[in-house]
Structure 1
C-alpha cells in the first residue's frame, strides 16, 4: 500500500486528525523526524539565488582600480585585474555564449592573453577549469559558466 504524503505533512504542518490517521503506523519520534528527512533528501543541485549571492560575495573579495588593455587581432578590451562583478559577469557570460561551458577545453583553444584572463577570472570566482568528471552532484552554490548563464538569464537572452 502506498501512502501519499502532502507537502504540509513533510513540512510538519499536520493537523491532529491527519496525525491520528497516520498515527496507526508512526510514533511521535518518527513524526518528529519527517522535516529532517525532507531536508536530507531535498534537491541539492542548482539554486540560482545561491549562485547569484555566491558570485556577488566572491566579487567583492579582490576589488581593483587597475585595468589591463588586451588586443587580439582587431579587437581591444579592457579587463579589471581584480574583481569587478558586473564587468566580470559580462565577460564570463560572453565566454559561455561564444565558447560553451567546458573551461578546460576553452583554455586549450584560445589566445594566451585570453587564456590568462579566463583562468584568472575563473580562479577569482571559484569556477572550475578542470575537465575531470566529478563524483556526485554539484552543491547548490557551486559556480559554473552554465549556472551563471541561468542565474543571470536576462543577460544571456
Structure 2
C-alpha cells in the first residue's frame, strides 16, 4: 500500500534513533489493525439482525474466557510471589473479570486481603498500602505503579 511505502521511505530517510523507528512501525501496525477491526465490525453490523447490534458488538470485543482465565492466573501467581514477604495474602478478583463483561484490553481488578492483619486501624491500613506500593515498585514483574491514596478505597494501578 502507499501508506506502507511512505512509512518505509520515512524510516529509511530519517535520522531517528532505532527506538523512534520502532515506535513508528508500532504506530503503523496498530493503526492498520484498528482500521481492519473497524471495517470488520461495520460489515458485520450491517449483516446483524435488527435489535442485536449491541449484543453483536459485545461478542466481537469480549475477552475470551480462556484468555482471561490464563491472564488472571499469571498475574495471581506473580502477585502471590511478590507479596510473599507480607506473609499471607488472599487475592479476590472483582469487576468485569468476575461479571463476564471484560473486553479485550480490559484491566483485571483485584482486592488484596492481608490475612495476618488482625487490627485494622487507619494507620495499619496506610502502612499496609505503603508496603504494597513499595513491593510493586521494586518488582521486575510490574511497572507503571501508580498509588491512588485519596480514593474511597485506596487503589494501586500497575501493569504486568
What TM-score do you get using the length of structure 1 for normalisation? Answer: 0.28
* Greater RCO (CA < 8 Å, at least 6 residues apart): 1
Q: Which structure has more strand as a fraction of its residues?
A: 2
Bigger radius of gyration, 1 or 2? 1
